[in-house]
Chain A
Amino acid sequence: MHRFANPARFTRIADRVLPFAAGGAVLALALGFYLALFVSPADYQQGESVRIMYVHVPSAWMAMVIYVAIALASAVALIWRHPLADLAAKASSPIGAGFAFLTLVTGSLWGRPMWGTWWEWDGRLTSMLILFFLYLGHMALMNAFEDSQRGYRAASILALVGVVNIPIIKFSVDWWSTLHQPTSVMRLDGPTIHPSMLWPLLIVALGFKLYYLTVVLLRIKSELIAARLRALDLAMVKGS
C-alpha cells in the first residue's frame, strides 16, 4: 500500500486516470440528465416532481459513500500512518458536504409540494442533517491546528466515531415511522422502482461517482503540491 505513498507515483497514476474519470462523468451526466428530463415518465402520484428524485437520491448515496470512504481512509491513516490517506480524507469532505447539502435542499424542495412541509424532524431527515454537520466538523478539524498532523488525527477520530450514523441513515426508514418513503432501490428482494425510472437514476448516480473520482484526484494532487510548497518555504526559512 505504501507504494502509492510516493507523491510522484500517485500524481502519475492520477494523471492517467483523470481523463477517463472526467470524460466518463461528462458522458454519464449528459445521458443521465437527458433520460431523467426527457425520456422517463412522470410519476402517477408525484407527477413531474418525481424528476427531483434523479438528483436527490444520487446525492444522498454520494453523501454516504464519500463518508464511508473518509472513514476508511481515516482508519488507514491512523493504523498505518499512510500519508496519502489523510490527504484523501481531507480532499473528500468538502465534496461530501456538498452532496449532503444538496440532499437536504432538494429533499426539502420535493417535500414542500408532496408532503406539505419543507422539513420534518424525523429519523431520515435528522440523521442526514447530522451527516452534513459531521462533514463540516471534519473540514473544520482538518484545518484547526497549526501542526496539520494533529488536525488530521482529530478529524480521523471524528470520522470513525461518526460512521455509526451511516447505518442509522440507511435503516432510519425501517426503524422509525417517518414521512420519508422506504428504500426502493437497494433492497434484498430487488428494486421496486420501474426500469424507466431506475435506469436514469443509476446513470446519474454513476456520473456522480465519476465526478467525485475526478474532483477528489484533483484535490489530492493539489494537497500534495501544497505540502511541497510548505516544505520549500521551510527550507528557505532555514536556508536564509
Chain B
Amino acid sequence: MEKVTAFFQMGGYAAFVWPSLGLTVAVMSGLLIATLRQLRGRQRRLAELEAAGAQRRRRAASPPAAPPGETREARP
C-alpha cells in the first residue's frame, strides 16, 4: 500500500505529472471519439440518401413530396 501511495505521489510532483498524462489521454481519446462519431454519422446519412435515391429511381414518374433541400441537416 505504501508503494502505491508513493507511486501516486510521484516524488512530490503529482500535481504536475498526473495532469500531464491525464490531459494527453483526454485529448488523444477525445479526437479519436470525435472522428469516429463524425464518420459514423456521415456513413449513416450516406446509407439513407442512397436508399432514398434508389427508391426515387423506382418511382421516377411521381414527383417528390418535399424539396430535398429542406431535410438537409446543417453541417459544421
Hey, which bits of chain A sit against chain B, CB under 8 A? 33, 37, 42, 47-49, 51-52, 55-56, 59, 94-95, 98, 101-102, 105-106, 109-110, 112-113, 143, 211, 214-215, 218-219, 221-222, 225-226, 228-229, 232-233, 236-237, 240
Can you give 19 A-B contacts (C-beta < 8 A)?
A47-B13, A51-B21, A55-B20, A55-B21, A95-B31, A101-B27, A105-B20, A106-B20, A110-B20, A113-B13, A143-B76, A218-B32, A218-B35, A221-B39, A222-B35, A222-B38, A222-B42, A229-B46, A237-B68
Question: Which bracket fits the contact residues of B?
Answer: 20 to 34
Hey, which bits of chain B sit against chain A, CB under 8 A? 10-13, 16-17, 19-21, 23-24, 27-28, 31-32, 35-36, 38-39, 42-43, 45-46, 49-50, 53, 64, 67-69, 72, 75-76
In the complex, the number of residue pairs spanning A and B with C-beta atoms less than 8 Å apart equals 98
Cβ-neighbour of B20 out of A52, A98, A211, A236 (below 8 A) = A52
Least distance between B6 CB and chain A CB atoms (Å): 10
A222, B55: Cα distance in complex, Å? 25
Cβ-neighbour of B68 out of A55, A214, A218, A236 (below 8 A) = A236
